[in-house]
Chain A
């Protein structure tokens, strides 16, 4: 489904990703954990080509890409197969909730407006916000905005959705509604890569957990393996800090 091989990325002299290899199977939910600065977000952004990695290979669906030789057209195609949910929601401020979802259907998929609106309303229903269809982002709470953000990412029926700390900017009492939408998605068999600090959620929903630090993947395994028996001392130290804080 999604496979990343030997991915390297630097910002100037700072090496952020030092040869990342990982794979997500169809229908799998993978949680990516790690301290800040470990390269988790950069990894997702490289998969979505919001950052351009120096080298590496990316397989997504039946698209096999050598990042050094990638063309603009391949980038656009790739982005339709993997959409992104952002930490700060990044809803289009000049569009209503419904338009946020239909924008790509009309501009990218070239669907007629009525059809795009039907899909948009369906997705709004799914995230429980149909009554907010004509509201602008400023009129919505953070949790509502992020649920719309998820609906927007679902609109193109991507092969995989990349979640970049989707609940980190939310007030604590709003985290639950977003996680519940994500949980529903996982149950439906959506393939998901989630960078998160929500340990309980990762434990419950993820099929696999990846722990990153210093631009490399240190350890990966099932939630039981990682949370109950972390092999690597760095993983243990990180989990201790996080869990004791909470």
Chain B
């Protein structure tokens, strides 16, 4: 083990249970953002594929804005800026709610482009075949095109999910006590910065490995129909 007067591993081990008290908060924000991000992503993708009049230019602005500005700035505008403009939102916009909204909007933009590309990658003949046997546009999309698009989209969406988990560490800046927040508070109280930070880094690393493994398993299962 590392034994150095300047790095005391017992502090690191003590940090794990303290940081892990906030595991659920971090995972919760990730899950909520993933869920609403998918809904936003699907909606925006369909608006862009079908070029829905009126909404199309709105989605262009949305994508450009979200992808053109830093996530941290978006979070700050949402948490510190919006209540300045609308004071009545101050009770509603707790740090947790602001984090969930901010991450959903942000991740939705990235997901919409992945989903749009995945839907467009499905051969046109698949939809035509579905229509030719009397299915409605909606049925053709739901039963035939989307399941095939999902297989294309899942690896990229998985990457988005992994980035998202790590990016949730930004929420401590608006006062959510997530894992990063705990690590920082702990370090500030005992001055063992490196021990706390290494501990939190290891936790993120292990979580990422677990999520990657789950995604690979899911991909393998879904690919069954396409491999010999």
Contact in complex: B144, A83 (CB < 8 Å)? no
Count of residues in A whose CB is under 8 Å from the partner chain: 29
Contact in complex: B148, A103 (CB < 8 Å)? no
CB-CB under 8 A from A237, the residues of chain B are none
Q: Which of A83, A93, A94, A138 has the most CB of B within 10 A?
A: A94
Chain A-chain B contacts (Cβ-Cβ < 8 Å), number: 77
Contact in complex: A80, B125 (CB < 8 Å)? no
Please tell me which stretch of A125-133, A151-159, A238-246 contacts chain B, meaning at least 4 of its Cβ atoms lie within 8 angstroms of it.
A151-159
CB-CB under 8 A from A103, the residues of chain B are 130, 133, 135, 143-144
Contact of B129 among A90, A107, A108, A139 (CB under 8 A): A90
Contact in complex: A79, B132 (CB < 8 Å)? yes
Contact in complex: B133, A76 (CB < 8 Å)? no
Q: Given A107-B143, A138-B226, A50–B131 Cβ distance below 8 Å?
A: yes
Q: Smallest Cβ distance from A152 to chain B, in angstroms? A: 7
Contact in complex: B134, A50 (CB < 8 Å)? no
Contact in complex: B133, A153 (CB < 8 Å)? yes
Contact code string B117-149 (vs A, CB < 8 Å = 1, else 0)? 000000101101111111110010001100110
Q: Smallest Cβ distance from B40 to chain A, in angstroms? A: 25
Q: Smallest Cβ distance from A175 to chain B, in angstroms? A: 20
Contact in complex: A93, B133 (CB < 8 Å)? no
| Complex alpha-carbon distance, A161 and B129, angstroms | 13
Contact in complex: A94, B147 (CB < 8 Å)? yes
Q: In this assembly, does A92 line the interface, its C-beta being within 8 Å of a C-beta of chain B?
A: yes
Contact of A108 among B133, B147, B226 (CB under 8 A): B133
| Complex alpha-carbon distance, A188 and B139, angstroms | 32
Range class of the B interface residue count: 20 to 34
Contact in complex: B227, A80 (CB < 8 Å)? no
- The residue on A at minimum CB distance from B222 is A94
Contact in complex: B225, A94 (CB < 8 Å)? yes
Contact in complex: A108, B134 (CB < 8 Å)? yes
Q: In this assembly, does B5 line the interface, its C-beta being within 8 Å of a C-beta of chain A?
A: no
- The residue on B at minimum CB distance from A87 is B125
Q: In this assembly, does B2 line the interface, its C-beta being within 8 Å of a C-beta of chain A?
A: no
Q: In this assembly, does B228 line the interface, its C-beta being within 8 Å of a C-beta of chain A?
A: yes
| Complex alpha-carbon distance, A94 and B126, angstroms | 10
Contact in complex: B128, A86 (CB < 8 Å)? yes
- The residue on A at minimum CB distance from B124 is A90
Contact in complex: A104, B136 (CB < 8 Å)? no
CB-CB under 8 A from A155, the residues of chain B are 133
CB-CB under 8 A from B139, the residues of chain A are 107-108
Contact in complex: B129, A86 (CB < 8 Å)? yes
- The residue on B at minimum CB distance from A48 is B132
Contact in complex: B225, A108 (CB < 8 Å)? no
CB-CB under 8 A from A139, the residues of chain B are 228
CB-CB under 8 A from B135, the residues of chain A are 103-104, 107-108
Q: Smallest Cβ distance from B21 to chain A, in angstroms? A: 43
| Complex alpha-carbon distance, A88 and B124, angstroms | 11
Contact code string A23-40 (vs B, CB < 8 Å = 1, else 0)? 000000000000000000
Contact in complex: B126, A93 (CB < 8 Å)? yes
Q: In this assembly, does A227 line the interface, its C-beta being within 8 Å of a C-beta of chain B?
A: no
Q: In this assembly, does A84 line the interface, its C-beta being within 8 Å of a C-beta of chain B?
A: yes
Contacting B at CB under 8 A, from A67-125, are: 76-77, 79-80, 83-84, 86, 88, 90-96, 103-104, 107-108
Q: Given A76-B136, A103-B143, A92–B129 Cβ distance below 8 Å?
A: yes
| Complex alpha-carbon distance, A95 and B133, angstroms | 15
CB-CB under 8 A from B136, the residues of chain A are 76
Contact in complex: B133, A136 (CB < 8 Å)? no
Q: Given A88-B125, A91-B129, A79–B134 Cβ distance below 8 Å?
A: yes
CB-CB under 8 A from B225, the residues of chain A are 93-96, 136, 138
Contact in complex: B148, A156 (CB < 8 Å)? no
Q: Smallest Cβ distance from A83 to chain B, in angstroms? A: 6
Q: Which of B130, B133, B139, B143 has the most CB of A within 10 A?
A: B133
* A-B interface, 7 closest residue pairs, ranked by CB to CB distance from nearest: A104-B133, A80-B134, A90-B129, A90-B125, A84-B132, A108-B134, A136-B225
New A-B contacts (4) at CB < 8 Å, excluding given A104-B135, A107-B139:
A92-B144, A138-B226, A155-B133, A156-B133
Binding site for B on A (CB under 8 A): 48-50, 76-77, 79-80, 83-84, 86, 88, 90-96, 103-104, 107-108, 136, 138-139, 152-153, 155-156
